[in-house]
A and B are shown apart, each in its own frame.
Chain A
Amino acid sequence: MPLQLLAALALPWLAALALFALPNGRRNTAAAIAGGATLLAAALLAMQGPAVFAGDVPHVSWPWLPFEGADFGLRVDGLAWTFALLVLGIGALVVLYARYYLSADDPMARFYALFMVFMGAMLGLVLADNLLLLVVFWELTSISSFLLIGYWQDRADARRGARLSLTITALGGLALLGGVLLLGNIVGSFQLDAVLAAGEVVRAHPWYAPTLVLILLGAFSKSAQFPLHFWLPQAMAAPTPVSAYLHSATLVKAGVFLIARLHPTLAGTDLWFYVVSLTGLATLVTGAYIAMFQHDLKGLLAYSTISHLGLITLLFGLSTPLATVAGVFHILNHAIFKASLFMAAGVIDHETGSRDMRRLHGLHKYMPLTAVLAIVASAAMAGVPLLNGFLSKEMFFAETLQLDARPLLSVAIPLLATVAAAFSVAYSLRFIHDVFWNGEPVALPQNPHDPPFWMLVPIGTLAMLCLLVGILPALIVGPVLAVTAAPVVGGALPDYSLSIWHGFNLPLLMSVLALFVGVALYVMLQRLFRLHDLVHLPRGGREIFDATVAAAVRAARALTDLLVNGSVQRSVLLITLAALVLGLFTLLAPQPATAPLTAAATSAGPVAWTLWLLTLCSLAALIARHRERLEALVYLGVVGLAVSLTFGALSAPDLLLTQLLVEVASILLLLLALNFLPQRSSRTDPPRRRWRDAGLALGAGVGISTLVYAVLSRPRPDSLAPWFLENSVPGAFGTNAVNVILVDFRAFDTLGEITVLGLAAVLVAALLPHTKTAGNIKSPGAAAGAGRSLMLEITSRVMLPLTALVAVWFFLRGHNLPGGGFIGGLVLAIGLLLPSLGSGVDWVEQRSTPRFEAWIGWGLACATVTGLVSLALEHPFLTSAYLAPVLPVIDKVPIATAMFFDLGVFLTVAGAAALALTRLGRLSGAPHDGGRT
């Protein structure tokens, strides 16, 4: 039995997976998979019927979240059972209908896949035995309905409607999550059994009000309650099968389902009564009123849906046992007649090409079968006797008359209920009279006729149900209603009789009154006010929403334009200014009492003074002469050299090597680039701007100097340094602490960094055109032969193998002495460029063209696999191990596995640097119009 439950829930999801894999052209297969899964799931759930009717609650659960009261559980009580069958039953009918509704151009498999995802989410929502699980499925329904509403992605109104519905329902979902977390905390468990049993504790708890409001916000947003109703009419841009499903039995019913589900826990206070019933009342009346003025068939049905959802909410708000039963009953009735009405509207749209009631007239002659079915369903919607809608509406009227304790509402609610019922008669009548009579069609795009037989079957089935329930209620729906309502009432069921005739009483009078007033209203609107000329655009939520979104976009755009107006100089200026201001702000803020300055200054030797002087002179020269670009490069090189030597002098041999090599590579890159750029900068900045920039730069420089000096003149705080030093050898088997950090302790960082490096190199390669495709390439000898030196040519060729050897040497010793993958890789990359410099690009290309992109790939793969191996051996990612394989001749070779990681670094760095350099080099090898001076 537990497995049946799980299988029923899993079936739609499995079907969705299969459908995502199916080609869109396989229309019948797609429909068969979707329909088969739905029917099978329905059968599995129907098999739980005997147990549910016997009063059992079949359930199944597995441990889920790691705390008390949060299991992954499914639970089938009467409410869940009926709802699940409603979801699946109407789902199956819509699957059949959609097969004929969608055109050959629509991606069918994708439609059914999304449909199944939604159905699975909805099924999970009603079966969940845990509030957190319920919220998860709730969110899934929001997301999948977003995808379904926006199914016709090329239509702007569909995208807009989908976005709106997602925004509202997702915000509601957030509120619901908050409410559920509060509720779970009050109860001490998220399991439904515990929550349903804890009603008194919850209602007496100080958090009751916020909990209730948050949960109701979720439910109201989903069930399109006033004033959050405005997303529902916008969602009518969905394909009609989607509307028929989402807005009759499922999505919007999720809200009232939640209210019903938690009714025993949360209901029974004044707060509940006023909030729920007044919201329901407002929704009931406004929805019905606006529905009368809709010219669009689906728009009318949308507002009617809102109104009926309001009615259901109002009933749950009244919260008497009978009202609760009536609410549950109306959920069922509304699902049945509204699904068939949506499908009928879809048929009319499909066969005439229009949904506009100002053009659709007299269709009973052209589509008689559709007319009959639509009349039955809309009569049910209007609450005409002998149809299911009449019964629940009678019960509703009866309950509105039981409010003696609240004098004002005891008059207002029955009165407004009757008014709303009259409106609903009027719009139902409009749906029938306008479309099927009222003259002849006006300029329809297609010649109307009845649809294919199979499209009428789902509508017919539901219309038949309306009649059967309406005529033989006790026989057809009595037991189901009893078993469904029992968990909602939360105690013994009240006495009620499901019969058509209760004698002459006040509710019947209200019904008759509503019927007559409704007919009169329609006739009046039609005759006196020329209904078709009335344009009634409800203003409110949608406009506020649109205005908010538009304002947010405008503000964001204004801010962006203010900060980034397309000028690089302006951006650099703003960034510098911001840094300066923030820095000053920190300086001026009150300082915490720190340790006194301990000016344990180390004396500066002659080397330090020399480097300092060299740097400052070069910088001065750079500022003065930066417009002579070749010269500027020399000064830049000197600064870089000084920086490298500073690293070297201050106990950082690894940095010395790296900076030196990068310096060489950077200057080479800039020299190559200079081929394609002007050799001199033209002076375009006005002096005022130069002085302003100089002031700013000076400020930043002074700030940085102060900061550095302030740090260096204070005692050093505790740091991680001793840990790294201590664990370098025992933990990572290397004596070069810097390299150990790179390839072991912080190897994950390094992996990220070499990935960035590889990406940057690929970007460089992608941005530069391939010389091979650049057309006829002249020999660089001819282009630049004059400047070639035989000496350089010969040495560069000899140097390549030597450099490679040096690179490998640096790499191998890296774990214990200065060196490593970064340094070795850079050496190799520069070595690889040497022959191009000496002998020209073509000479190199004729001989070999290493694929440096592949080096990057292999390097990253090597580094990642090293990490994964340690993961496979159940150590954290990139844990190092010590190996000592005994090789022939060489004897024992002590290596740490971090070496393989470093090999990956080596390959990536070499590949990336070489790729950037050779690509730019090749470009310079190609003839360029006057690139050289």
Chain B
Amino acid sequence: MELLLATAIGAITATGIYLALRSRTFELVLGMTLISYAVNLFIFAMGRPVAGRAPILREGVPTTLEHYTDPLPQALVLTAIVISFAMTAVLIVVALKLREVSGGDHVDGGDPAGDSGRERGDP
């Protein structure tokens, strides 16, 4: 299971970085979203997650790590998920604004290829 988790996180990271390195704003947003998945999973994994030990305390069960997983990484990740949502929203809006200002969707503004604007016109 550890190996599966580790490779999955690595794969998400790699895909995220590859997409973030592309020249279009949409891909950048996709890449950043993937990277935030990977980072959240990474932090979560640092708490040594196991199945079936949700940190919801039950009466009569000793409050040790034998019976519950570490709640702290979960708390950190929970807020991180929500913040990354807000960041995605901001990124999208910036991309739209860039589009409005420069007419293209190249990450640096402008559109060296100059074809996407035309492409948009004819569906």
Contacts and interface: CB of A to CB of B under 8 A. Distances in A.
Contacts of B113: 682, 684
Interface in B7-64: 7-30, 33-34, 37-38, 40-42, 44-58, 63-64
A818 B56 contact: yes
B88 A669 contact: yes
B108 to A, nearest CB: 5
Contacts of A923: 96
A723 B64 CA distance: 9
Interface stretch (A396-404, A488-496, A604-612): A604-612
Interface string A625-645: 010010010001001100100
Contact of A639 (B21, B37, B85): B37
Residue among A605, A632, A643, A760 having the largest count of chain B Cβ atoms under 10 Å = A643
Contacts of A764: 89-90, 93
A701 B51 contact: no
Contacts of B107: 567-569
A595 to B, nearest CB: 14
B78 A737 contact: no
Nearest to A601: B2
A700 B7 contact: no
A724 B42 contact: no
B30 A753 contact: no
Interface stretch (A212-220, A247-255, A547-555, A657-665): A657-665
Contact of B14 (A665, A697, A746): A697
A163 to B, nearest CB: 35
Contacts of A735: 56-58
Contacts of A639: 12, 34, 37
A655 B72 CA distance: 12
A623 B56 CA distance: 38
Interface in A659-711: 659, 662, 665-666, 669-670, 673-674, 676-682, 684-685, 693-694, 696-698, 700-706, 708-709, 711
Contacts of B96: 673, 676-677, 767-768, 923
A681 B121 CA distance: 14
A816 B59 CA distance: 12
Given A572-B20, A708-B9, A763-B93, A677 B105 contact: yes
Interface stretch (A139-147, A234-242, A373-381, A725-733): A725-733
A674 B87 CA distance: 17
B2 A685 contact: no
Interface stretch (A10-18, A350-358, A646-654): A646-654
A342 B5 CA distance: 78
A45 B18 CA distance: 75
Interface stretch (A199-207, A475-483, A712-720): A712-720
A367 interface: no
A810 interface: no
Given A612-B8, A822-B82, A712 B48 contact: yes
A760 B85 CA distance: 10
A242 B25 CA distance: 55
A619 B87 CA distance: 22
A738 B99 CA distance: 41
B90 A760 contact: yes
A611 to B, nearest CB: 8
Nearest to B48: A716
A573 B21 contact: yes
Q: Is the interface of B mostly helix, strand, loop or mixed?
A: helix
B82 A753 contact: yes
Given A658-B81, A712-B6, A753-B83, A619 B42 contact: no
A749 interface: yes
Contacts of B33: 636, 640, 666
B102 interface: no
B116 A682 contact: yes
A604 B1 contact: yes
A673 B95 CA distance: 9
Contact of B10 (A603, A702, A719): A702
A6 B41 CA distance: 62
A757 interface: yes
A912 interface: yes
Contact of A708 (B14, B45, B63): B45
A567 B57 CA distance: 50
Contact of B23 (A685, A816, A826): A685
B74 A655 contact: yes
A742 interface: yes
A50 interface: no
B119 A678 contact: yes
A742 B95 CA distance: 32
Contacts of B40: 643, 659
B120 A678 contact: yes
B9 A651 contact: no
A767 B75 CA distance: 31
B81 A738 contact: no
B74 A705 contact: no
Contacts of B8: 611-612, 615-616, 646
A65 B59 CA distance: 51
Given A626-B27, A654-B74, A681-B27, A708 B5 contact: yes
Contact of B93 (A603, A680, A767, A816): A767
Contact of B116 (A655, A678, A761, A916): A678
Interface string A897-933: 0000000000001001100100010010000001011
Contacts of B55: 651, 725, 736-738
B123 to A, nearest CB: 4
A760 B87 contact: yes
A693 B95 CA distance: 22
Nearest to A647: B44
Given A737-B68, A737-B71, A909-B82, A612 B93 contact: no
A721 interface: yes
A521 interface: no
A700 B13 contact: yes
Contacts of B2: 601-602, 708-709, 712-713
A916 B21 contact: no
Contacts of B51: 602, 649-651
Contacts of A708: 2, 5-6, 9-10, 42, 45
A741 B23 contact: no
A750 interface: yes
B4 A761 contact: no
A528 to B, nearest CB: 66
Contact of A920 (B37, B82, B93): B93
Contacts of B20: 572
B91 to A, nearest CB: 9
Nearest to A633: B30
Interface in A542-582: 566-569, 572-573, 576
Contacts of B14: 697-698, 700-702
Nearest to B45: A708
A871 to B, nearest CB: 23
Contact of B72 (A567, A684, A694, A721): A721
Interface in A875-916: 909, 912-913, 916
Contact of A757 (B24, B68, B86): B86
A411 interface: no
Contacts of A719: 70, 72
A670 B27 CA distance: 11
A66 interface: no
A789 to B, nearest CB: 21
Contacts of A749: 79
9 contacts: A643-B37, A649-B51, A650-B51, A655-B77, A659-B40, A662-B82, A684-B106, A698-B14, A763-B90
Given A708-B45, A716-B65, A722-B63, 18 more contacts: A612-B8, A632-B30, A651-B49, A653-B56, A658-B78, A662-B84, A662-B85, A669-B88, A670-B92, A679-B123, A682-B24, A693-B17, A696-B17, A701-B14, A701-B15, A721-B71, A725-B57, A756-B86
Q: List 7 tightest A-B contacts by C-beta distance, closest first.
A: A701-B14, A705-B10, A760-B86, A737-B71, A650-B49, A709-B6, A741-B75
